[in-house]
Structure 1
Amino acid sequence: MIRFALRLSLSGGREAAARLVVIATAVALGVGMLLTTLAGMNAVGAQNQRYAWLNTAVASPSSDPSVDPVWWLIREDYHHGDSIGRVDLAATGPDAPVPPGLPRLPGPGEYYVSPALDELLRATPAAELADRFPGHGIGTIGQAALPSPDSLLVVVGRTPAELEQLGGQQVTQIMATSPSNCPNGCYLGYNRDAMTLVLSVVAAALLFPVLIFIGTATRLAATRREQRFAAMRLVGATPRQISVISAVESTIAAAVGTAVGFGLFLALRPAVATIPFTGDRFFAADLSLTAVDVLLVALGIPLGAVVASWLALRRVQISPLGVSRRVTPKPPRAWRLIPLVVGLAELAYFIGRRPASTNGQLTAYLSGFLLILVGLVLAGPWLTMMGARVMAGRASRPATLIAGRRLADNPKAGFRSVSGLIVALFVTSVATGTITTYVANRTAPSTTEVAATSLSKVFWPEDGPAPTADQVPAGLATISGVRSVTLVRYNPEPDWWQGLVTCAELDHLAVFGRCPAGAQVAEVPVDLIGLSADDLADGGYVWDAADIAPGEVDRQPILSVVVNTTSPSAFEQARTILGNAFPLGGFPASGAEWEANGARQLVQFQQLANVVMLASLPIAGCSLAVSVAGGLSDRRRPFSMLRLTGVRLRTLRRVVALETVVPLLVVSVVAIGMGFLAAHLFLRAQLDYPLLAPKPSFWLLVAGGLVVSLGIVASTLPLLGRITGPETARNE
């Protein structure tokens, strides 16, 4: 029987070959995405583990007398907005611990750099970057210590006296604990469980349209296959034999698709590694698979295809007359809306009742989102039926009436072809609404010129005594492209973090706002910008007046040095001079760089949401095309008979188009609406923010996806003319 099934599958003519190719293609896409998801989760853990050593200062110092301690100080520097991790070390003896990726500890006047930073140093003038590192480079940091190929890291050798003065601490062990398991919290890295959760949601959003595609491909030409298997039953084939034939057909396609999927994953792995899921690229080797992952996919996918095939042909297995005894399916009931309503009610319930723990919040919100998503899938046929009834009730043309009646009689089939879009549109709407609102309320990174071209070095009390005006390098003002160098003074009032600048100085600076009428001294932020970058760009911000005489301002300690520049080169040269002149505390940076750190992960999540939509829409479009083409193949005889009775081909094409467009538009509107409603309820419950309208780019993306989907439908319509001629009605 297996040999007979192989002959039917491989020698069944053009139709059988096309069916095998489509099913194998769908399975290959599903396998490739599933493998990419599993490898991505493994890569998250591998990347996070390489962050561990950078958190060495978190570890409690050991009192083991057999180990020589090493002085340790880690800080963050910048170059053109890119973060540079800088670790200053000083050994106290020959047995001092060595970080991973280094053959030995650098001595005073030596440093190691990551390969990416080494390339940057070679391409950048020394005054803009290399002069910040004392001494000379002696090698590159190995991959074992690099979270990403793009990591900018430098390990600088110092003397113990220098690091003690800079505020370093002694440690006797290099941190080896993953940031996910830091007992005292980590400086760098991320919670692996949280990132895995995010990637799991993204994976589900990507896999769902693929599963729909596989299911649609499995049902391709289902009517004709049912007729063939029913004929076999009538001549004596048993249900078990029919099951074997069906299983062999599905297994062949699934096995080929699985093999192609593994090849697709291996071929695309270098490209996938460049996608910054966590904010940084992966090494290609990080995207690895365990033996369990390989077995799960290699065995699970073909088994799933067999089950899907069995379910699709269950009527033939029950009775050989099941195919001929076709009746109108029962219409979907309104109970399908219950999960949707329950999910919305759950999110609404937690407004004002936010769970206290993180696990409680994840359980509450994720279960609500899942209920809404399941509810959309369940309610889709009912919504399609209601839309079809409205269309049929108001039909003024034969095509509209026929399409409306057909959809109302079998809305499940009509909805099935577009159901792959629901996850893409819902997940993207939730992500876009949530991230857009959060960034707007938490202040997005400023892109104004004043915030991007002004550099500040702040002298906090814990960094030691503030410098005098004579200690500020005179060379700052001589750099070509430096517009101004301003000294912001401490405010003796209780709000000591607010600085002081005279109104005469503000008038001279011009770009940093102005004083109120009649004032002589203004209270300003440490960087002369604060949260008012956009207001400064709009023509000037009026600062509050300070109750102090102008003559007293210069007697106050220096709070910060603010350098305003006109070119990136001048900006980096000023940063180098300031950092070398004042090595204590944090390195000089712009307000835009500080703000960008907080919003970087949100931007990555938005990119993931865009990836979901851009990847899901083409797959959903393929599913749509296969569904339409399969439906035309199954209905070639009815359509041929209609043409023989005088129905125009143009009318039949309108019928097919309307049967697809109505569910497509209904599903799109409902999915986007439910996505934004769910985002609004979540924001109100978790953050007490009202939902803000998404940017026009979101609507352009949605409109583009729908236009492409409609184009796919239109591309299948010429097939109708070729398969519905008089010869089809005669041969059938």
Structure 2
Amino acid sequence: MKARGQWAGDLAMGVRFAFGGGREGWVRALLTAVGVGLGVALLLLTTAIPSALSERDRRGGSRDDFTYSGEVLPKSDETLVIARTDTVFGSKDVRGRLMEPEGARAPMPPGVEKFPAKGEMVVSPALDRLLKSDSGKLLRERLPYEVTGTITQAGLIGPGELAYYAGASGLADRLSGGTVERIDYFGPSTGNAEDPLDPVLILLVLIVFIVLLLPVAVFIAAAVRFGGERRDRRLAALRLVGADGRMARRIAGGEALAGALLGLVFGTGFFLVGRQLAALMEVRDISVFPSDLNPSPALAVLVAVAVPAAAVLVTLFALRGVVIEPLGVVRTAKPPRRRLWWRLLLPLGGLALLYPMVGQGNSNGDFNQWMVIGGTVLLLVGVTALLPWIVEAVVARLNTGSVSWQLAVRRLQLSSGSAARMVNGIAVAVAGAIALQMLFSGVEGDYTKPTGDDLNRAQMEVSVHGDVSLAEVGRQLAQTKGVRDASALSLGTAGERAKEPDKSVEVAVGSCAELREVARLASCRDGDVFKILGGEYDDDTKKLAEPGGTVYFDPAYAGTASHTVAWKVPSGIKTAAHREDPTGYERSGLLFTQGALPQGAKAGLSQRVYLSLDLTEPDAADYARNSAARLDPLSDVYTLTASTRSLQFQSIRTGLFVGATCVLMLIGASLLVSQLEQLRERKKLLSSLVAFGTRRRTLSLSVLWQTAIPIALGLLLASAVGLTLGAVLLKMVDTSVRVDWASVLAMTGIGAAVVLAVTLLSLPPLLRLMRPDGLRTE
């Protein structure tokens, strides 16, 4: 009990020294608090991310309006007909719905107070701002509705979401179960549940969190050690008035505790400010409401307890080998050489934990999460252990050079630990980023599938329904600005019976040139009919296309309307061979030229157009979408792409990008604070050198070298550790090891660029410090 009281008393005395030690004590406490506060703010933000994602998912689920069941509900006083009219403007997705309530008790979508009338719409605040801006001119043409209200937060997944609900009529005539559906509630349905993450994606999530959070912990550990040299002189004074060595160390821990506690306050303030600014930020179309960023209470308490405790422990650990005497601190002499053996144990231990999972891949169950976390953390923490030894070993062999070089090298020889601490965070971040980039690149092929789209033939596909004629669809789209060519076809089905046929075939109608886009025709003129043979459905095609037989266009199925038309197969039907259309699809069934289509069959066909765009026109895709919307508000417009990527994989990658952006901001801010603290400690030394005639250019270059040498060594070590960790992770997911050197160079270049920017920002205060009057002592 007495020992516990002694600890509390000494820590409390350290806290009083931090806040009652005059200007120097306050400056050190504030710098420590800012450094710790930045880390705490990011930790709080991280603990709030699960809450924000959960709220986004909850609101997104509460407005689900398509069941994908294939069944059509009967009309009642409680039903609503809703049509999906999602679109894209530029690179941004726009969520759109047309609504037609069928009774007084029709379900109201979340965030909407009343149904808009026909020709009216309610919009999200972000869409309202876009439509009112000059950049929204093309989108205003696509949405010819009067804005009469705003969707509230309850109906949006984020403040930056572009969404609208518009009123319409006649939607019940186009019930299809896909684009148009009758519903009696808004909310999640079992038909669109997401698949669980597979083991490799879970591994990716784990590594992402480790790589993003570990640099934060490293920066907090470095921040509590600001002002070490001035603190040592105070500790020597305490020894002079009777404190023993252990008491002095505990008092030093109390000073660090004071800065950490103040850092918690600063961090909370930074977090609250950042949370309010979150509504103004959008990263890769991801935005969150401030009210969604609520840290988990348990995790917030953990941060509040762990940060001050870590501050005290880090300080005691840093002073473990320092002899504090009444007349000085034995750190001013040349420190003993650092030992290498125990530093190697950390990365070797990490490899030992990860090795048992090598070759596991996706087929042998989940990876052991604790082994993954422990192994990755040990490998990355090994960077912080090895870097001081490497910096010390290298700078000990650097001697000759210019005056600025020698000043920098001598400073590094005397305080290589401080230089390494400043670099540790960026080195850990770069090592983790390299490993993650290798892992993402290695498994990307498993989650990216080729679409088969031929982008040389077309770049967009437009599907138009309703009563618009094929000729009109083709003409308007072909005349659209930015469209070089439009190939229009009418598509439908034909069966052996008018209702519920057992066999059916595809039908395509167009000119000879347009039919040649989907089949190989030996000869063709208007009035010809073809059957496509040589594929999987030859038997059905042969049976239905037998000369003299009868087929029925647009046969009726349960719950669907139809415009059934009978047609007798002529004896002169020709044969065509398969050809992939611009989307890579091989069509089967029947082909009709315009003159051969039976009267009345057009009503059951939809129009599909393949567009070749003028890629020199930046808004060509938006002009095409506007034309399609004028032809049919329910038209579907698809942008053809060479490949598609798993939404789960893409979400994880987006999360990494958002987190990495926050960590980079923290890295830059923390490095700047650390650099300013080091310059403040050397104020009198710099003033003395200037007073003796040293050129400012020489001193500025020396500061640059003092930053550049540890950074170069740190980035080299980070590259080696990152490549090692990346190779092990690729082996774990049973993927061949490939190094994307461009990405490795990019990661190291970003790290170097952050440090260069920090160095440039620290030059103005450096020039202010390099004045002879800095020797004045009050």
Of 162, 165, 172, the residue aligned with 1:161 is: 172
Task: Give me the whole-angstrom Cα distance separating, in 1, the residues matched to 2:709 and 2:135.
Answer: 61
Of 703, 706, 719, the residue aligned with 1:672 is: 719
- The residue type equivalent to 2:671 in the other structure is A
Residues 1:220 and 1:560: Cα distance change in structure 2 (over 3 Å):
farther
Task: Give me the whole-angstrom Cα distance separating, in 1, the residues matched to 2:337 and 2:462.
Answer: 73
Tell me what 1:150 maps to: 160
| Contact 2:230–2:681 (8 Å) recurs in 1 | yes
- Structure 1 window deviating more from structure 2 (589-598 vs 362-371): it is 589-598
Tell me what 1:174 maps to: 186
Aligned-residue offset at 1:453? 9.3
Structure 1 residue 416 and structure 2 residue 421: aligned? yes
- Structure 1 window deviating more from structure 2 (245-254 vs 334-343): it is 245-254
Task: Give me the whole-angstrom Cα distance separating, in 2, the residues matched to 1:62 and 1:573.
Answer: 34
Task: Give me the whole-angstrom Cα distance separating, in 2, the residues matched to 1:398 and 1:130.
Answer: 65
Structure 1 residue 185 and structure 2 residue 190: aligned? no
| Contact 2:284–2:654 (8 Å) recurs in 1 | no
Tell me what 1:264 maps to: 270
Of 47, 66, 75, the residue aligned with 2:56 is: 47
Structure 1 residue 563 and structure 2 residue 611: aligned? yes
| Contact 2:395–2:413 (8 Å) recurs in 1 | yes
Task: Give me the whole-angstrom Cα distance separating, in 2, the residues matched to 1:712 and 1:189.
Answer: 43
Deviation per CA, 1:577-604: give whole Å up to 9, x if none. Answer: 43564677x7113225996996964466
Residues 1:417 and 1:500: Cα distance change in structure 2 (over 3 Å):
farther
Deviation per CA, 1:220-272: give whole Å up to 9, x if none. Answer: 52321231222122xxx467865775465445444444333333333333334
| Contact 1:579–1:588 (8 Å) recurs in 2 | no
SS of 2:367's equivalent in the other structure is helix
Residues 1:591 and 1:273: Cα distance change in structure 2 (over 3 Å):
same
- The residue type equivalent to 1:87 in the other structure is R
Residues 1:617 and 1:127: Cα distance change in structure 2 (over 3 Å):
closer
- The residue type equivalent to 1:52 in the other structure is G
Of 368, 371, 382, the residue aligned with 2:389 is: 382
SS of 2:226's equivalent in the other structure is helix
Tell me what 2:237 maps to: 228
| Contact 2:130–2:136 (8 Å) recurs in 1 | no
Instruction: State the aligned residue count.
Output: 681
Residues 1:718 and 1:276: Cα distance change in structure 2 (over 3 Å):
closer
| Contact 2:468–2:631 (8 Å) recurs in 1 | no
Task: Give me the whole-angstrom Cα distance separating, in 1, the residues matched to 2:705 and 2:141.
Answer: 68
Of 665, 670, 695, the residue aligned with 1:619 is: 670
| Contact 1:71–1:163 (8 Å) recurs in 2 | no
Aligned-residue offset at 1:437? 6.6
- The residue type equivalent to 1:161 in the other structure is A
Tell me what 1:336 maps to: 343
Residues 1:185 and 1:10: Cα distance change in structure 2 (over 3 Å):
closer
Residues 1:506 and 1:94: Cα distance change in structure 2 (over 3 Å):
closer
Structure 1 residue 98 and structure 2 residue 148: aligned? no
Task: Give me the whole-angstrom Cα distance separating, in 1, the residues matched to 2:124 and 2:769.
Answer: 58
Pair member with larger Rg: 2
1 or 2, which has the higher strand percentage? 2
Task: Give me the whole-angstrom Cα distance separating, in 2, the residues matched to 1:122 and 1:190.
Answer: 44
Structure 1 residue 578 and structure 2 residue 634: aligned? no
Deviation per CA, 1:354-399: give whole Å up to 9, x if none. Answer: 143784286675554323202222222333344345547xx69999
Tell me what 2:739 maps to: 691
| Contact 1:32–1:265 (8 Å) recurs in 2 | yes
- Structure 1 window deviating more from structure 2 (90-99 vs 435-444): it is 435-444
Task: Give me the whole-angstrom Cα distance separating, in 2, the residues matched to 1:63 and 1:491.
Answer: 24
Residues 1:352 and 1:21: Cα distance change in structure 2 (over 3 Å):
closer
SS of 1:85's equivalent in the other structure is strand
1 or 2, which has the higher helix percentage? 1
Aligned-residue offset at 1:101? 0.8
Tell me what 2:127 maps to: 117
| Contact 1:451–1:591 (8 Å) recurs in 2 | no
| Contact 1:33–1:206 (8 Å) recurs in 2 | no
- The residue type equivalent to 2:273 in the other structure is A
- The residue type equivalent to 2:274 in the other structure is L
Deviation per CA, 1:307-351: give whole Å up to 9, x if none. Answer: 444555567899879956989546323342233245457667756
| Contact 1:106–1:156 (8 Å) recurs in 2 | yes
Residues 1:716 and 1:67: Cα distance change in structure 2 (over 3 Å):
same
Aligned-residue offset at 1:707? 3.4
Tell me what 1:541 maps to: none
| Contact 1:34–1:203 (8 Å) recurs in 2 | no
Residue pairs, 1:9-408, within 5 angstroms: 9=18, 12-58=21-67, 68-74=78-84, 76-105=86-115, 111-122=121-132, 129=139, 138-157=148-167, 158=169, 161-162=172-173, 164-165=175-176, 167=178, 168-175=180-187, 185-186=193-194, 200-201=209-210, 203-217=212-226, 219-233=228-242, 237=243, 242=248, 245-246=251-252, 249-276=255-282, 279-289=285-295, 301-312=307-318, 323=329, 328-329=335-336, 331-344=338-351, 352-356=359-363, 359-360=366-367, 366-388=373-395, 391=398
| Contact 1:84–1:153 (8 Å) recurs in 2 | yes
TM-score w.r.t. length of structure 2:
0.67
Task: Give me the whole-angstrom Cα distance separating, in 2, the residues matched to 1:716 and 1:232.
Answer: 36
Residues 1:420 and 1:452: Cα distance change in structure 2 (over 3 Å):
farther
Residues 1:255 and 1:386: Cα distance change in structure 2 (over 3 Å):
closer
- Structure 1 window deviating more from structure 2 (472-481 vs 711-720): it is 711-720
Task: Give me the whole-angstrom Cα distance separating, in 2, the residues matched to 1:400 and 1:480.
Answer: 62
| Contact 2:40–2:267 (8 Å) recurs in 1 | yes
Task: Give me the whole-angstrom Cα distance separating, in 2, the residues matched to 1:330 and 1:98.
Answer: 73
Aligned-residue offset at 1:146? 0.5
Tell me what 1:430 maps to: 435
- Structure 1 window deviating more from structure 2 (396-405 vs 286-295): it is 396-405
Task: Give me the whole-angstrom Cα distance separating, in 1, the residues matched to 2:139 and 2:766.
Answer: 59
Tell me what 1:477 maps to: 478
| Contact 2:384–2:424 (8 Å) recurs in 1 | yes
Aligned-residue offset at 1:486? 1.2
Aligned-residue offset at 1:671? 0.3
Task: Give me the whole-angstrom Cα distance separating, in 2, the residues matched to 1:7 and 1:551.
Answer: 91
Task: Give me the whole-angstrom Cα distance separating, in 1, the residues matched to 2:445 and 2:407.
Answer: 48
Of 589, 598, 601, the residue aligned with 2:638 is: 589
| Contact 1:55–1:187 (8 Å) recurs in 2 | no
- Structure 1 window deviating more from structure 2 (140-149 vs 73-82): it is 73-82
- Structure 1 window deviating more from structure 2 (279-288 vs 52-61): it is 52-61
Residue pairs, 1:517-556, within 5 angstroms: 526=581, 528=582
Aligned-residue offset at 1:51? 1.1
- The residue type equivalent to 2:462 in the other structure is K
Aligned-residue offset at 1:562? 1.8
SS of 1:261's equivalent in the other structure is helix
Task: Give me the whole-angstrom Cα distance separating, in 2, the residues matched to 1:594 and 1:131.
Answer: 30
SS of 1:360's equivalent in the other structure is coil
- The residue type equivalent to 1:262 in the other structure is T
| Contact 2:14–2:250 (8 Å) recurs in 1 | yes
| Contact 1:454–1:563 (8 Å) recurs in 2 | yes
SS of 2:113's equivalent in the other structure is coil
Task: Give me the whole-angstrom Cα distance separating, in 2, the residues matched to 1:480 and 1:211.
Answer: 56
- The residue type equivalent to 2:391 in the other structure is T
| Contact 1:78–1:589 (8 Å) recurs in 2 | no
